[in-house]
Each structure stands twice: as structure tokens, then as C-alpha cells.
Structure 1
Amino acid sequence: MLFLDQSIELNDTELDIYNYITAHLDTVIYMRIRDLAEATHVSTTTILRFCRRFKCNGFSEFRVKLQLYAEEQKRTRIDMSDETTYIDFLQRTASPEFKGQVARSASVLRDSELVLFAGIGSSGIIAEYGALYFSSLFTLALHIEDPLNHPFYHLSSKLSDKICLVAISVDGENEDIIRYIHELKSQKCKIISITNSAKSTIARLSDANIAYYINKEMYQDANITSQLPALYTIECVAREIRTQLDKEN
């Protein structure tokens, strides 16, 4: 709540002041206490009580903390104008290295009778799309929404080596996915991963990995790195498998 790490309960008057401040942040940081009182139709005493609710001794301290908060918010704003990240990635998809990674992944996947897609957070949404796309072009594919609650302890040996997991992860270090990979590897299932780096744990545990290498982006505590490369890569692999199978028939 503003510069506080936790939420606090506000009465109706305090909530009106809070809403005014958040809506006019760039203006309030330059106001005098009397200006803010007039703008919110309360007394200066009420403004002082409001400041103390935010652990400030007075309006001057509140305004300083508010200004620092406003500056921090500006630093974390997202620049949507830089398209070079996507252009660079798409150019790399024409390289022999990327095409080789796609071909190796397709070779591992093409003998599978069941493909599982797993990811956490936004990667989970991409995994769900991947399952749909693979089912349309290749073979039955399922999205594992909650890996920890879908154990594979009792797989038949006749089936386990026909299953391939496609793990989607930006940083390649998600502990839930790593545990799931270890569980499936112990059952002799194949592992394909699509990550941002080939040096990540998930990438190194995989039978084949496709790394797309784009700049990692964070907004506050959220990882907002683009999923466009993962989406494109899934389609590339599925189309490569379909092409290989069509050539044989």
C-alpha cells in the first residue's frame, strides 16, 4: 500500500485521501499539507493522522517517502518500444544451431505415443497451448497443470519409454518441474525442455533442449520475460515432426 510493505485498514475518510493520492501521485509530492487538505475536503489535522497511519511523524516525512515511492514506480515502468529482442530471436531461428536443436528435439519426440507438457505460471499457459498444438499435428498430448499432484510412480515399462515430457520454463530452475523431471526420468521417460538458457538445471537434465536466449525482464517481483520465443519454438518442433513423418509416408 503505497510505500508500506503491508496493507492497512482505512476508514472512509482515510480511504478518500488514499484514493486521491494514488490518482494524483505526481502532483501530491509537491503539495503543501494545506493544499492536500483542501483538495480532499478535510482538515490538516486529518491529513496528519493519515500520515501517522503510514508510519510517518508528519506530512514532510510522508511526502519524502511518497516521492521516493513515485521515483521507484517510474523506474519499474515497462518500455514497450524495444522490438529488438523479438527481431534478434527470429533471426537466430534461421541459424544452423537453432535448427539443429529443433531437429534433435523432433527426433526424440517422434517415437513418443504420449506427450506431456508442463510449466508453471505463464509457462503453464504456453504448455497448455503446446498440448493442443501437438495433438493437432502429431499425437496425443496432455497438459499437466499441477505436476506435483500428477505422479507417475506405477507406469508400465511397456508405456514409460513411449512417454516424453516437454518442460517449459524461462529460467529453467523451477523446483516443482525439476522434481517432476527426476520422477519421469526414473521411469525411463524422455525429457525435452524449452528454456531461456542451455545452462539451466532443467536444460541439463533434458535429453534435448532448445534455448532461445532473450533478455530477462522483471517488473517488481514478477518475471515478465516474453513467452513469444517459447510459443514459436513449440510450433517449430511440432511442424518439424509432422514434416519428418510426411516424408516417410
Structure 2
Amino acid sequence: MQKQTVDIISALKQMDGTFATREQRVADYVNANMERISEMTIANLAEAVGVSSPTVIRFCRSLGCEGFRDFKLKLAQNLAVSLQYLGPEAAVEAAKGASAIDRILGALYATANVMRQQIDPASLEAAQARLAETRTLLVLGLGGGSTMVANEAANRFFRLGIPAVAVSDSYLMQMRAATLGPEDTLLIISNSGEARELICAAEIASGYGAKVIVISKPKTTLETLADYAITANLPEDPDIHKPTASRYAHLVLIDAIALAVAQSRADLANENLRRIRASLTAYHGQIGAQPLGD
């Protein structure tokens, strides 16, 4: 069975120097003219390299492609997401010491300000009101940033007397969503708003009457499935080495919602927070001002 190659660019690098002589000439030309290949026919490429069309086909199959058409499609897909990592603009001024902190803070402030300008206060207040009365809370996130924010959301809300759990496993998402009912809430954090696992979980939860809150981009599939949509189109820094700043904006939203929910159910929240502080003091013996179990 022929291997299937997903990353043509990596395959070209790994196999460089190992192709048959004529195929290597094709590889050299492709490496030097990647952005032109999508406009070429197999005859064009063969003529440009000075080889036969069958040689081009053998080259494509050596890379795990079914033929020239399959090769062009996969190369185009790779280039669509890879050019920013391959061009000279990927090399930026080195960040050292305090300058690295300044650059991260700059991106954080810029992204948070964009979020602040785009968030609809009415949507935020409606979601806060729903969470203040929910019986249980299921929080979902996929990927590094959204999973971290989902875990932090569950960490915030359980303190306020709301049974909350965060899930990032795709199967558990569907299973947990199926246990929700009309008194429960599903909170989804998603940068793309299009992850299939999250969409399926939202549909399942809605089917059983649970309310769905989505924190994501506008005009996405998840927004259409949400009972409460909190959306902002957050920019990403062109510096590919800088961690994404959107997760900071999502954390700000979680903290803002948690603050409003805590104030709306202050009696229960205060008692829970007091118990948590008392249990931690008994555990480690420290009584000074400290973050609450962070």
C-alpha cells in the first residue's frame, strides 16, 4: 500500500538527495519554484525541468501522491498555511530580556482592547445571568489555548457554588453533553468556532434542552448554535514565534463573567470562598493574604 504524504514540503526536505537523478532535478525545480507549480501542467513542469512527463509522475509517487494532480493539490494546501513560516519575514528582531516582556504585553493590551470594543454588553449580561442560575456547568475547549481557558473557567465557577467540569477529550465531550438537561449550561471556548467536536457537543446539549454559551469569533457555526454568543474577531500578531494573545482576551472574559456571577449570588459565593480559605489555612497553616488556591 502506497504511503500517503500530508506535508509535501517536509517530504521534499527529507527526501532531498535521495531521489533518482531525473526525479531529483524535478525536486530541485519544485523547491525553487513552489508558488508557480499550481499554475503549471505536467507538460509545463516536464519541459521546464528537461525531463519526461512519466518522470514527473514517478517523482510525485515517490512523495506518496497518486499523481501530478494530487501533488499539486497537497502542495497548494501546504503553501496556504506554510508561507508565513518559510519567507524572510519569519525572521524578526530577537526578543531578549525585558523586550520580550514588552512585546508580549503589547500584544496582550492590543488584543484585549479590540475585544473590549467588539463585545456586546447585552450578550455578556445575558450569559452572566444564565450562569448565575445554572444547576451544573460543562466547559469545553480544544487545543492548547482554549483547553487552558476552559480549565480556568471550571476553576473559577466551582468556587462560586456552581458544579463545573472542563473537558477537552472529543469523546467525553459528546458523553458529557448528553447528560445535560434544561437546568444545565454548556460553555464552549473556541478560537475558530468551527471545530466539529464542539459543534456536535453543542447540538447534543441543545437537543436535551441545555443552554449553550459560546465564546468565539462572529459568524461561525458555533455562534449559530449558541443561546448566548459572546463574540469578537481578535487579531493575531504576524510574529509567528509569539504565543497567541487571544487566550488572554478569553481569560479576561471568563474573569469578568465570574466576577458578575459571584456578585449576583454573593451569599453562596462568599460562604464557599470562606470555606476554601479555611480549608487551605488548615492545610498549609498560612493566614496572610494569598490568591484563593491558585
Same fold (TM over 0.5): yes
Q: Tell me which residue corresponds to 1:5.
A: 11
SS of 2:229's equivalent in the other structure is strand
Structure 1: any 5+ residue segments left out of the alignment? 10-49
Q: Indicate which of 22, 44, 51 corresponds to 2:17.
A: 51
Q: Indicate which of 72, 90, 96 corresponds to 2:86.
A: 72
Alpha-carbon distance in 2 for matches of 1:144, 1:126? 11
Asked if 1:240 is matched to 2:260, the reply is: yes
Q: Tell me which residue corresponds to 1:16.
A: none
Q: Tell whether the 8 Å contact from 1:218 to 1:225 is kept in structure 2 after alignment.
A: no
Asked if 1:194 is matched to 2:215, the reply is: yes
Alpha-carbon distance in 2 for matches of 1:247, 1:133? 16
Asked if 1:151 is matched to 2:175, the reply is: yes
Q: Indicate which of 81, 100, 113 corresponds to 2:135.
A: 113
State the TM-score, normalized to the length of structure 1: 0.64
Structure 2: any 5+ residue segments left out of the alignment? 1-6, 36-82, 94-99, 271-294
Pair 1:234–1:6, CA change in 2 (3 A): farther
**Structure 1 residue 170 displacement after superposition:** 0.7
**Structure 1 residue 165 displacement after superposition:** 0.5
Q: Tell whether the 8 Å contact from 1:117 to 1:130 is kept in structure 2 after alignment.
A: yes
Q: Tell me which residue corresponds to 1:128.
A: 151
In the TM superposition, what are the counterparts of 1:169-208 in structure 2 within 5 Å? 169-197=190-218, 199-208=219-228
1:188 aligned partner, one-letter code: G
Pair 1:127–1:94, CA change in 2 (3 A): closer
Q: Tell me which residue corresponds to 1:90.
A: 112
Asked if 1:215 is matched to 2:247, the reply is: no
Q: Tell me which residue corresponds to 2:279.
A: none
**Structure 1 residue 124 displacement after superposition:** 1.8
SS of 1:165's equivalent in the other structure is strand
Identity between Structure 1 and Structure 2 (%): 15
RMSD of equivalent CA atoms? 4.2
Pair 1:121–1:95, CA change in 2 (3 A): closer
Pair 1:110–1:6, CA change in 2 (3 A): farther
1:124 aligned partner, one-letter code: T
**Structure 1 residue 148 displacement after superposition:** 2.8
2:206 aligned partner, one-letter code: K
State the TM-score, normalized to the length of structure 2: 0.55
- Give a deviation string over 1:124-174, Cα, whole Å, max 9, x none: 22211211121123411101222433425864xxx7122101001111111
Alpha-carbon distance in 1 for matches of 2:264, 2:251? 20
1:239 aligned partner, one-letter code: L
Alpha-carbon distance in 2 for matches of 1:78, 1:247? 52
**Greater share of residues in helix:** 2
Pair 1:196–1:216, CA change in 2 (3 A): farther
2:153 aligned partner, one-letter code: G
